[in-house]
Structure 1
Amino acid sequence: MAEESATEQKKGKKNTPVLPWMRDPIDITVYDSFPLNSLPFLDPRLEEPLRKMGINSLFPVQVAVWQETIGPGSFERDLCINSPTGSGKTLAYALPIVQMLSTRTVKCLRALVVLPTRDLALQVKDIFAALAPAVGLSVGLAVGQSSIADEISELIDQPKLEAGLCYDSEDFPQELRSAVDILVATPGRLMDHVNNTKGFTLEHLCYLVVDETDRLLREAYQSWLPNVLRLAYSWNQSPFPFANNYIPPTFGSLKTIRRFGVERGFKGKPHPRLVKMVLSATLTQDPSKLAQLDLHHPLFLTTGKTRYQLPEQLKSFKVICESKLKPLYLLALLETLQGEKCIVFTSSVESTHRLCTLLNHFGDIQIKIKEYSRLQRQSIRSKTLRAFRAGDVQVLISSDAMTRGMDVEGIKNVINYDMPAFIKTYVHRAGRTARAGQTGRCFTLLPKGEVKRFKKLLQKAGNESCPEYSVPSESVESLHSMYSSALERLKESIESEEYKNRKANAKRPGAIRKKDNVF
């Protein structure tokens, strides 16, 4: 997947922010970690679930966002957060949103978090679900993991009718209401509910989080963003914004800002704006893309002076190898890592499948290797991820589509089987390790002809040193005898799969093969 446009590559896009508000950012690195028991204004009900999550103090990005939301910043400005992967961005927005909504008594959808992939949305939903019940809030999920009917039953409250009474639909219209306060969604399924689900509304939305912003802005996804903004803003433009028994949120000391001016007859009354928080480890600086978000006096929070930030405790290495023998170098490298948790990244889902199949055809390998790809059903991916987290699987082989936001404790190593084409891809891949202040290593397999290009790639992230990691030549040699046999078995496996696919398609004459879609 091209992470940067060809135009940007040709121009050699500079790191200097082009928007005025990006020229004077808040430096997250000046903040220290902050003990939970001393955090000002924290709702006491949230302390216990935070500690159950293993959180005793907040990381710098979380402290900085808390300062600009619950602290003196009071959500007066929209926030744009550019912080390395693994720095704690999810909790940085989840905690203040849950706290702000904890005072509401009327249930309606007030916070929406949009993410590019189903797997990442599941992960974020778990964070919210760990916090929200403590303050009486409920969290919904709209990602297509279950049927649309099942999702509707979870998201919409259907009124219970009294037995024995006859209701005429005109005289007794059913009042459908949201069953959740917070919704975590992928854009495609979100638009399914916007367009087709009765009772689903964004008119009460107070908070919009766009996580992995650069990826979500790069593709349209059924024009989800302009539609969400239009629907969330529409009630503000109504001459009767508080009609239909809508109770506006009580912000307490928070100053409310009127985007469309003071409506007639409502001068001095609460008129909350839609607060936006956008986040990425590689936040775009393209004015035309950021303009789509319609940000309100945005505040830019970032780490360091360069756009591309690698985890502080990450060590990068290059492994020089022969192109034809890359699978052998990979296996030899995995053996030197002695069963540590690893993610191996390839350039495509097809390469992921073939590489995983090939490696599992080698005999006498004491390493459990699994594929993790959008070609698999969600249930298979979830099962694989659980086994990886539990340590039953030591190595996952994945494509870039699965990199963003994946948080698995204990990943010690990331291996680039295929060198990433762009520094943005490298940042997101490498960010699967060295998370939350832990140490980690990123290895990149490189034929000699790619070494110079790789060096230039890392320089864009301020990395001037990438030492070579030597894989024992005897380990590579010992695998030669099995390589030819593994290649033959791979060929047989692929031919068998193709035959099964042709046979399955033949049973459905005229049917169009359904494309895989994780959104």
Structure 2
Amino acid sequence: MTSDTTPATFQDLGLISPLLARIVELEYSQPTPIQAQAIPSVLAKRDLIAGANTGSGKTATFALPLLQHIYEDAPLSTRKNEVKPQGNYVSGLILVPTRELAKQVADSIKSYAVHFNGAIKTVAVFGGVSTNTQMLSLRGGTDILVATPGRLLDLISSNAIKLDNVKTLILDEADRMLSLGFTDELSELLALLPKQKQTLLFSATFPEQVKTLTEELLDNPIEIQVQSADSSTLVQRVFTVNKGNKTALLAHLIKTHQWRQVLIFVNAKSSCNHLADKLSKRGIVADVFHGDKGQSARTRVLEAFKTGEIDVLIATDIAARGLDIEKLPVVINFDLPRSPSDYMHRIGRSGRAGEVGLAFSLIDHEDYHHFKIIEKKNKIRLEREQIEGFEADETVSEPVAKPMAKPEGTGKKKRKNKPPINADIWLKNT
């Protein structure tokens, strides 16, 4: 459901002055469609289910009203930072699927809260780093907690935090959490939450699992669907090429366009290193981002890529969500994602917040059928193009029997009665 008349400015949304002042400093000119439609309902403490693609401004959509609720609901002494609530409390809980997204959301919230002068505490917890350090950061509780489900359950079992005072629950990228096998963890966490709370659910796609979760969690929710922040700013192109010429075409594109930042997606950790080596032989230095890197190394690589110290980054799908790089010019699918929804999340790393972006996919004969499925599921149709000197043959000379590479974390053979996926172990390996 959407409104026919939506606020044109942030001042029209009903936000308080500390948030408006920060919005001016961040040079946000006007609300995105999802912000304009959703923020008034969230401020009214309505439950919400929102379909919003990456880059649509959804973090601010839930972060700004959450900060306002916590500030306005707190005693005056707390607002002045004189007295803090005691105990291991949480007021606002945000559940996310990946470490990178947890850190990014928490950093955004802290940025929006600058003019509250430390009156609102925000903590992010996730796997891959010391539990003891996170327990110390939670001492005395926190106003806002951004967490991956597995690590949060670990902290709860250690009595580092309790959820019985949560007033707002936010599930960010719910479709991704369920696809990663967080179902059992979510069920366990939901059982620990109070029944009376505001619940906000954001999801790019709405598979049956998400619909079921919505029915169980939300009370008479407002429903909003926004396809993208500005779909015209992201140009999608697809190039056909023989399999043996893919790397040569990739190198040709990078050198010809002289891109200063390019994010390349592949489907496996080993493919990252292999492609980086092949590009190196062609005079292109590339770094890699995948699950074999420790959390500190992953953080360093992302920061270097964001600041332009790294021109070319080759990544698995752990970079498809939670990676926010301002004005990233181009994303390339060297391997197609297995999931059509992951295609949209990958290309959404570029063309964010109205910036112009490019999304290229390099497909060989093995990819043709799968790309048609991606187009059908995402309701798009792209012209097949060729680059002179790298044209694909009209037919493949031999039958293609080799399956697509499996994405990270799914290397084991399927077996009957397979137990539920342990999400923390999955994330550690991705």
TM-aligned CA distance change 1:409 to 1:436, over 3 Å? same
Aligned residue for 2:131?
148
Q: 1:374 aligns with which of 291, 294, 305?
A: 291
The answer to whether the 8 Å contact 1:188/1:222 transfers is no
CA shift, 1:290, in A, is 2.2
Q: What SS does structure 1 have at the residue aligned with 2:264?
A: strand
- Tell me, in whole angstroms, the C-alpha distance in 2 between the residues paired with 1:92 and 1:452: 37
The answer to whether the 8 Å contact 2:14/2:40 transfers is no
Q: 2:278 aligns with which of 335, 358, 364?
A: 358
Q: 1:466 aligns with which of 383, 387, 390?
A: 383
Aligned residue for 2:245?
325
User: Is 1:90 aligned to residue 59 of structure 2?
Assistant: yes
TM-aligned CA distance change 1:469 to 1:440, over 3 Å? farther
Please give the per-residue CA displacement for 1:149-183, whole angstroms capped at 9, x wherever unaligned.
211111112xxxxxxxxxxxxxxxxxxxx1x1000
- Tell me, in whole angstroms, the C-alpha distance in 2 between the residues paired with 1:515 and 1:225: 15
Q: Which moved more, 1:45-54 or 1:327-336?
A: 45-54
- Which residues in structure 2 correspond to 1:118-133 (within 5 Å)? 118-133=99-114
Aligned residue for 1:349?
269
User: Is 1:112 aligned to residue 93 of structure 2?
Assistant: yes
Aligned residue for 1:247?
none
TM-score by length of 2: 0.82
CA shift, 1:216, in A, is 1.3
Aligned residue for 2:189?
228
Larger radius of gyration: 1
User: Is 1:210 aligned to residue 171 of structure 2?
Assistant: yes
Q: Specify the code of the residue in structure 2 equivalent to 1:216.
A: M
Aligned residue for 1:201?
162
Q: 1:388 aligns with which of 300, 305, 327?
A: 305
- Tell me, in whole angstroms, the C-alpha distance in 2 between the residues paired with 1:144 and 1:386: 19
Aligned residue for 1:335?
255
Q: What SS does structure 1 have at the residue aligned with 2:175?
A: helix
TM-aligned CA distance change 1:414 to 1:293, over 3 Å? farther
Q: Which moved more, 1:374-383 or 1:216-225?
A: 216-225
The answer to whether the 8 Å contact 2:327/2:352 transfers is no
Please give the per-residue CA displacement for 1:36-65, whole angstroms capped at 9, x wherever unaligned.
3x3342111122322333323221111111
Please give the per-residue CA displacement for 1:106-132, whole angstroms capped at 9, x wherever unaligned.
634110111111011111011111123
Unaligned runs of 5+ in 1: 1-24, 158-177, 237-272, 477-513
Please give the per-residue CA displacement for 1:309-332, whole angstroms capped at 9, x wherever unaligned.
993422221111111221111111
The answer to whether the 8 Å contact 1:110/1:207 transfers is yes
- Tell me, in whole angstroms, the C-alpha distance in 2 between the residues paired with 1:276 and 1:518: 30
TM-aligned CA distance change 1:85 to 1:312, over 3 Å? farther
The answer to whether the 8 Å contact 2:13/2:40 transfers is no
Q: 2:143 aligns with which of 181, 200, 220?
A: 181
User: Is 1:413 aligned to residue 330 of structure 2?
Assistant: yes
Q: Specify the code of the residue in structure 2 equivalent to 1:75.
A: K
- Report runs of 4+ in structure 1 exceeding 4 Å deviation: 30-33, 285-288, 471-474
The answer to whether the 8 Å contact 1:217/1:289 transfers is no
- Sequence identity percentage: 27
TM-score by length of 1: 0.68
> CA RMSD for the aligned pairs?
2.7
Q: Specify the code of the residue in structure 2 equivalent to 1:322.
A: N
Q: What SS does structure 1 have at the residue aligned with 2:34?
A: helix
Unaligned runs of 5+ in 2: 76-83, 393-424
The answer to whether the 8 Å contact 2:332/2:359 transfers is yes
Q: Specify the code of the residue in structure 1 equivalent to 2:2.
A: I
